Amino acid sequence: MDIFSFLPGYETLIYDTGREPAFIMMLSFTVTFILARGYTRIARARGWGSASFGGVHTHHLVFGLVIAFTAGALNFGFIPGPGPFFLLLAAAFGGGVALVLDEFALIFHLQDVYWEKEGRKSIDAIIIGLALGGLFLLQTTPFGTNLNEAGWVIAGNVAINLPIVIIAALKGRIYIAVFGVFIPTLALFGAVRLAKPDSAWARRFYKSKPKKTERSQQRQEKFENKWQTRKERAWDFIGGKTGRPER
């Protein structure tokens, strides 16, 4: 059911290769995030209220959880294979996940930090979600594995690459670690690099190594001086500026 057959190359690149569900999921994810974040920015500017039940403010991540969980349960429980309803569930799942990740920082901090500096974690989560969606669309498998390979080969790839991904994450290279699950060379790059000064790795292994600690701090300061302002501008464009307007 190539519903986007009017798009150039859609039938050969998406439909015929079995990528349509992933495409629908990613499209729904992107559109839902744009609509959700767009509404919250307009609501903040105009002082609109938010949804509430029984006088309790209800964040849109609640709706996202219900939608995503319901779509997943229906898919696993009742859908035998690809078809129109399967694509509908893919769209529902992508939209639900977008609503959840748009308020990821609230889950992480267990408080309403949507418009605070800590709320930037939600934008990080959305960017990672979009990138992973792109990898799924390209049908990239984790840890450099091939699903047609023997089980022991797959297990070997995971056993070799998973510790490297974990090390990269412990060194504070979260983006690299996440994408390194699908691109092992990237994970290795993150694992051999100097850890960030505030990372778990630095706190554990750099205590008795003042030179490494100093190098780590200098490198982080150099990076922030060059890129932090640019990143903040990009995140402001995507998610809106931090800080709540005065009432």
pLDDT in tens, 8-40: 888 888 888 888 989 999 999 999 999 999 999
Q: Where are the domains of the chain?
A: 1-140
Q: Distance of CA 24 to CAs 2, 11, 34, 103, 194, Å?
A: 11, 14, 15, 22, 39
142-152 tens-digit pLDDT: 877 776 777 77
Long-range pairs for 159-168: beta carbons < 8 A, 24 or more residues apart: 161/187, 164/188, 164/191, 165/191, 167/191, 167/201
- Name the pLDDT band for 247 (thresholds 50, 70, 90): very low
Mean pLDDT over the full length of the chain? 88
Residues in the chain: 247
Asked whether residue 242 carries a pLDDT value surpassing 70, the answer given is yes
Mean pLDDT calculated for residue range 228-236: 89
Of 43-57, 158-172, 190-204, 227-241, minimum mean pLDDT range: 43-57
pTM equals: 0.83
**pLDDT value of residue 75:** 86
- Name the pLDDT band for 173 (thresholds 50, 70, 90): very high
**pLDDT value of residue 246:** 40
Query: How many C-beta atoms lie closer than 10 Å to residue 116's C-beta?
Result: 14
Of 3-7, 22-26, 36-40, 209-213, minimum mean pLDDT range: 3-7
**pLDDT value of residue 216:** 93
- Name the pLDDT band for 1 (thresholds 50, 70, 90): low
Asked whether residue 134 carries a pLDDT value surpassing 60, the answer given is yes
